[in-house]
Amino acid sequence: MKIIFGKPYITEKEIEEVIDSLKTGWIGKGPKTARFEKMFTEYSGAKYAVALNSCTAALYISLRFFNIKEGDEVITTPLTFAATANVIENCDAKTIFVDVEKNSGCINPDLIEEKITKNTKAIIPVHYCGYPCEIEKILKIAKKYKLKVIFDAAHCIEGKYRNKHIANFGDAVCFSFYATKNITTAEGGMLCTNNRKLYEYAKLFSTQGLSSDAWTRSKQKDKYYSVVLAGMKFNMCDLQAAIGIQQLLKIEKLYQIRLRQWQRYNLELKETGLILPLMPDEKIKRHSLHLYTILIDKKRCGISRDELKKELEKSGIGTGIHFISLHNHKYYKKKYNLKRSDFPNANYFSNTTLSLPIGPALTEKEQNYIIKMIRNYVSFSNNTSI
């Protein structure tokens, strides 16, 4: 059996929507991109949404809009994908890491204030694996020190906080539609905001700073444009949006599939000694169930994370590691002279976390096989503890 980790769920509906775009002859940014943006605002409740080629682009544009530059500092978590910190570095600002909570993997708000200086300008919290971070606490700190908050919600498309979609909190919220995400456009992202000026800036910046894009000009008598700012090519195209339209139409159906698989993993793996992912109080937070991450401690399980990963791969089961903390990577380690011990909780996740396949492309037979193989390899001892 060969089980691909993060395999996208693509149906005939997505294929038909893409073919429709191909037949119209308009495959760049155009009507379907606009439709996808409108659908996402209706789904999330955010006032504005700009479809982009990645979540990275959304993060970068947000930082640029808030004039993050050399000499500034931006606080974020080390337990995240490289993009979260890379955008800070590419604004010539300084990345300041804050350790995570050991139970959720999200940035620990109780440690943020001690890292704030006169140069701190923004915070980029990450909704890790789809678990919404402590939004209220973070926003309270940001208000106290007059900091901008740009949420990295790459994992958290369906996330809610106090029954409100997470797209409505902070100054900007950035989503990903990469191939492995809960809904996909193959590559792509979305910047959501309630700030009209940021929205207008994002539209301009993502299309090279042109006063009107090709689709807009095609409907106007005046076919010329003016370059009004030095932007970049960050927009989504209609072929991507076509996939996103059909994915978004069934997002809740896909979520329920993930939920059933999540519950099955919890039931079947609860006696193995594995530390299973935390679920929040549903009255406060809605987990988007993006990644099902187990923690493997060798003292408890008789096998290490790397050993289990290797055995599962030999059995044809693809897995992921989310993440090797950025403070352990060469660039950040060297530039900021970081040690593993600087962020003990992030380091703990780095050494023990393993993401299992989950999602509508995973069959019941495949999930049963994954569970069987894990139970074969794990040897739990009740007499040991972390």
| Active centre residues (catalytic) | 181
H helix runs in the chain, sequence order: 12-24, 31-44, 55-65, 82-89, 135-145, 196-205, 214-218, 238-249, 251-269, 298-301, 305-314, 330-335, 344-352, 364-377
Tokens matching residue 201: 């800036």
Cβ atoms of 20 and 169 closer than 8 Å:
no
Exposed, middle or buried: residue 1 (CB in 10 Å: 0-12, 13-18, 19+)?
exposed
User: How many residues in total does the chain contain?
Assistant: 386
Tokens matching residue 29: 């940014």
Tokens matching residue 160: 């809610």
Q: How far is it, in rounded angstroms, from Cα 34 to Cα 173?
A: 18
Q: How far is it, in rounded angstroms, from Cα 73 to Cα 175?
A: 23
Q: How far is it, in rounded angstroms, from Cα 212 to Cα 228?
A: 10
Of 165, 87, 178, 177, the closest CA to residue 132 belongs to 165
Q: What does residue 46 show for φ and ψ, rounded to 5 degrees?
A: -70, 150
Q: What is the DSSP string of 105-160?
A: -SB-GGGTGGG--TTEEEEE-B-GGG----HHHHHHHHHHHT-EEEEE-TT-TT-E
